[in-house]
């Protein structure tokens, strides 16, 4: 079965609010995690990544948090905009150059 899963399949947020998308992973040996955004008809677009030796990483309007104790990953989007509407996937890598393992995704809908 999947080793990466998401708590919420859909998420609706008001424009301007913060969004939090959660992801659970089961492989405690995973050392690298990535969040991707996928818009309709397009390929996944890299958002932010984090290594297992970190617990937080910030980008522009996005923050990824890693809690290795409970094997949980989250993506926080500040001041959500309509352009943020998409499906968001977390992915993990077990080690080195092994392929990324993707979760099923969360659809984020931003209400104007």
Partner 1 sequence: NAGVMQNPRHLVRRRGQEARLRCSPMKGHSHVYWYRQLPEEGLKFMVYLQKENIIDESGMPKERFSAEFPKEGPSILRIQQVVRGDSAAYFCASSPGQSNSPLHFGNGTRLTVT
> Using CB under 8 A as the criterion, which residues of the chain lie in contact with partner 1 when the complex forms?
2, 31-32, 34, 36, 41-46, 49, 51, 89, 93, 96-105
- Dihedral sign for Cα atoms in the order 46, 52, 58, 64: positive
Between 83 and 99, CB nearer to partner 1:
99
Q: How far is the CB of 18 from partner 1 (least distance, A)?
A: 24
Between 17 and 56, CB nearer to partner 1:
56
């Amino acid at each position: 079965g999947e080793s990466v899963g998401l708590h919420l399949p859909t998420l609706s947020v008001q424009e301007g609010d913060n969004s939090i998308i959660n992801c659970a992973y089961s492989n405690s040996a995973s050392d690298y995690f990535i969040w991707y955004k996928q818009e309709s008809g397009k390929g996944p677009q890299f958002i932010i990544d984090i290594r297992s030796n970190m617990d937080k990483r910030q980008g522009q309007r996005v923050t990824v948090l890693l809690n290795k104790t409970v094997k949980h990953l989250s993506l926080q989007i500040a001041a959500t905009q309509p352009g943020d509407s998409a499906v968001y996937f977390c992915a993990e890598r077990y080690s080195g150059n092994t392929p990324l393992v993707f979760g099923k995704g969360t659809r984020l809908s931003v209400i104007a």
